[in-house]
Chain A
Amino acid sequence: MAKFRKKKGDKSQTINTSSLPDIVFMLLFFFMVATKMRDKEVMVKTVTPVASEVERVEKKSWVNYILVGPPQNAERDGTAPRIQLDDKYGSVEEVDEFIILKRNEQPEAIRDYLTTAIKGDKTVRMGLMTDIKQELRNANALKLLYSSTEGKVQKD
């Protein structure tokens, strides 16, 4: 039993922290790679529908986003669903212009791979969505993604 007896008057051991910067740097690099800058303010509420058969986009820089939903600030902007293009509200007619503008920013070689992701709120009516889809057809942006949350679909 004497074996386990603690020596009296022993100073508390210091923990070696020299590898702490390495660990933190590792975390840092993970976040730098796995995340992207928050570049625009989201002005509409978008609770995307849940779907199980989702696919990933190949490359994030090849995706243009169109946000559709009721405004966050209901007092200022009302409650009717609005379309957000980049960081401002847009009308349906501006969608094709926006897509063409975005396409021209990209190098010629990848223009065929560009996808449009519609981040739409569940409650938006399809009338508005169809108008947007028609605009996309006008702009010849045929690759479309209905942004959804992956998960098990609730049945009614």
Chain B
Amino acid sequence: MARHKRNIPEINAGSMADIAFLLLVFFLVTTQMDTDKGLRVRLPPKLDENQPPPDTKQHDRDVLRVLVNANDQLLVEDKLMRIEELTEFTKRHLTNEGRLPNFAESSEKAIVSLQNDRGTTYGRYVQVYNELKRAYNEVREEYSRAKFNKSYEALSVTDKNAVDDKYPIKISEAEPVDYGEGNN
């Protein structure tokens, strides 16, 4: 069989750009960039009604009580506080290590109890939660710099766990009280 050579005709690719632009515009219109970022929280598991609640009596000094009322005011350890001071105050609580009698005995035992009113706005609640989380993150960062001479982000998994065990994030979101949801 004689193979006859054929000239392969060149495909005109001039409209390729138009087609690609069309697709591009289609995807630009129908899709959205998602910014899935947020504060990560772990809820406590539901209590079994048949069983008595576990005996978790905490020493008063280990618990930092933070209250946010319906007017979005902040009450920390029964004292009115501005939000700017909260992170510093929480850090003092976490890094106390038994020095001052009204702060936590040790960082492992320290707990932050966050209680809100049913009338507190969600924005304020997240803001307060963010400040508490910041206190934990900063304390962890300082500890890992002092101990491993590295940023917390750069630590290995085992070292990270060591830091996490030293400063475990215990932010308890207590059941809200209802004094003044009022008419929202």
Contact = CB atoms under 8 A, between A and B. Distances in A.
Interface of A: 17-18, 20-21, 24-25, 27-28, 31-32, 34-38, 48-57, 60, 63, 68, 117, 120-127, 129-130, 133, 136-138, 140-150, 153, 155-156
A130 B40 CA distance: 16
B30 A31 contact: no
A126 B39 contact: no
A125 B118 contact: yes
B71 to A, nearest CB: 12
B122 A120 contact: yes
Contacts of A145: 36, 38-41
Nearest to A139: B46
B122 A38 contact: no
10 contacts: A24-B17, A28-B24, A31-B28, A36-B32, A51-B38, A124-B122, A127-B178, A130-B118, A133-B173, A138-B46
Given A49-B126, A54-B37, A20 B17 contact: yes
Given A137-B43, A156-B83, A126 B122 contact: yes
Contacts of B137: 53
B20 A25 contact: yes
Contacts of A50: 127
Interface residues of B, number: 52
Interface of B: 13, 16-17, 20-21, 23-24, 27-28, 30-46, 82-84, 116-123, 125-127, 129-131, 133-134, 137, 173, 175-176, 178, 181, 184
B83 A155 contact: yes
Contacts of A155: 83-84
Secondary structure call for the B interface: mixed
Secondary structure call for the A interface: mixed
A31 B27 contact: yes
A35 B46 CA distance: 36
Given A136-B43, A140-B45, A146-B126, A126 B13 contact: no
Contacts of B123: 49, 122-123
A120 B125 CA distance: 11
A27 B24 contact: yes
A104 B125 CA distance: 31
Contacts of A144: 40-43
A155 B181 CA distance: 24
A54 B38 contact: yes
B27 A32 contact: yes
A123 B17 CA distance: 47
